Every structure is written in structure tokens, then in C-alpha cells.
Amino acid sequence: MLGHLTPVIDDGMTLLRRLVADLHQACAAAALAPLGDTDIELPSASLTVAHLVGAEIRLVMLGDCKLLLRGKDGRVEAFDDSPVAAFDAKVVEAMRKVQAGGEIELRRITPKLTALIRDNRRWKNRPGGYGVLMADPACLAFAETVRRPAADVTHLLLATDGFYRLVDTYRMLTAGELMQAALERGLAPLYAELRRIEDADPNASPPAPQGAGRCHRVAGAGNARLEHLQDRIRARDPRTRRVPRR
């Protein structure tokens, strides 16, 4: 859907408005009842678009995907901040409290977090909440657009929030180091390292006390696994009905 729009629209917000309108049309056509008359939860996603238009790179960002730009001087500009981080932090803090009470198995912790995660999801595309791409014009208010001279940019890296845990959760790398590692080693070894860290801590153990020997990288595993935990809760929610995707 996005592919047939980018060749004919070179303005970021115009592109996004057209995409949201097309998504709404597709969801309405697939739904079994009018969207406005039901409690259907529409599909949602993060979106980051880098569009080369003449001498400019035009960026459109909505959600929590990450984007890094490397300039000719070697400096890396990171677009990696999202309001959803504050909501994720609430869930991580609640999980830490459950763990501190003696429960360590993630499968037993998950039901205790269900209500909070569902409440967080109600804040998407609402004032005071966070933005995600949906078939709802309300998401447009959360979009960020940026323009940079194409001649000043040598490399661009797009990443999901899960992959970016190497930077913002495990703190193995800075944004600049992630870009450099991707150029030198490729993405596959970095992905493998991320999975190795996650697999080493299947129950998302709480952080060790300051000065203890436990590696601080593993201490952030709860946040790295949070997106998978939230997806599972959403899938099991009996109040949630999904509109079939196009």
C-alpha cells in the first residue's frame, strides 16, 4: 500500500494522511460491521519512512521504530525517542515488584500484568498518550517529520524497537557504535548477539544490586521481552477482535 503512494507523493504528511485514509478504507471493507459502531481494535504498527526527494532526505516517523543518520563527518543523529517508553517503563516496574515478591517465572508473572498492559494500550493516539499508525486520523497528530540535505548523509539505519534494545536496554552499544558495527559486521551478528542475551535470561531476572557481579546487560531483559509479552496478552484478550488485514 505504501509502495504505490511514495512514487506520486513527495510530502511526508500528505503521504501519511493518504496512507491512513487508505488503511481506513481497507479496514472498513474487511470488517463485518461498521467500524464506528463496534468495539473492534484496529490493527496498529510503527512506521518510519525515509524518502529521497530531489536533494533532500525526508523522514516520517510514527511509533517507536528507530532511525539513525550518519553524516559525512561521522557523527550519528539518532531519532530514537518515543512517548511509549514511559508506558513500557510502568509495566517493567510492575514486573520488578512481582519479582521482588519472590515470583520469578515469566509465565506466572504475565497474568499479574495483564490489566496494566491493556490499560496502556488504551492511550494510543490519545492526548497524553503515544502515537502508532492506525486507520484513524488521530494518529496524524503524533507524527514527526524531518528533512535533511541528502548530500550531508552517508548512511541511514532503520531498526525496530526490539533490535534497538542493544542500545537502550542492554546498553551494549551507543547509537553511533551500533551504526559502526552494522557497517563493519553486518546486522546478522548483532541480531544473534541480541538473541543470545535474551536466551541467557528466559525469566527476565531483576537487576543485581549495585556492585554485584551480575552483568548489567542481562538486567534489562524484562524490557526487551516486553513487546512479546504484550502481544500475547492482546491476542488472548476476549474483548479484542481483529479486523482481517488486507
* For the ranges 32-36, 182-186, 218-222, the one whose mean pLDDT is highest: 182-186
Of 230 and 187, the structure prediction assigns the larger pLDDT to 187
Global pTM value: 0.77
Residue 36 Cα distances to 26, 50, 168, 179, angstroms: 14, 33, 38, 44
| 3-class secondary structure per residue, the chain | CCCCCCCCCCCHHHHHHHHHHHHHHHHHHHCCCCHHHCCCECCCECEEEEEEECCEEEEEEECCCEEEEEECCCCEEEECCCCHHHHHHHHHHHHHHHHHCCCCCHHHHHHHHHHHHHHHHCCECCCCCECCECCCHHHHHHCEEEEEEHHHEEEEEEECCCCCHHHHCCCCCCHHHHHHHHHHHCHHHHHHHHHHHHHCCCCCCCCCCCCCCCCCCHHHHHHHCHHHHHHHHHHHCCCCCECCCC
Q: Tell me the average pLDDT across 210-239.
A: 42
pLDDT digits (tens, 9 = 90+) for 162-180: 999 999 888 899 999 999 9
Name the average pLDDT for the chain: 81
Q: What is the pLDDT of residue 42?
A: 78
Taking 80 as the threshold, does the pLDDT of residue 95 lie above it? yes
Taking 70 as the threshold, does the pLDDT of residue 219 lie above it? no
Q: Tell me the average pLDDT across 207-231.
A: 41
Q: What is the pLDDT of residue 225?
A: 52
Taking 90 as the threshold, does the pLDDT of residue 67 lie above it? yes
pLDDT confidence tier of residue 238, bands split at 50, 70 and 90: very low
Residues of the chain with pLDDT > 70, as a percent, come to: 76
Q: What is the pLDDT of residue 2?
A: 64
Q: What is the pLDDT of residue 170?
A: 86
Q: What is the pLDDT of residue 155?
A: 97
Q: What is the pLDDT of residue 6?
A: 65
pLDDT digits (tens, 9 = 90+) for 151-165: 999 999 999 999 999
pLDDT confidence tier of residue 189, bands split at 50, 70 and 90: very high
Q: What is the pLDDT of residue 13?
A: 86
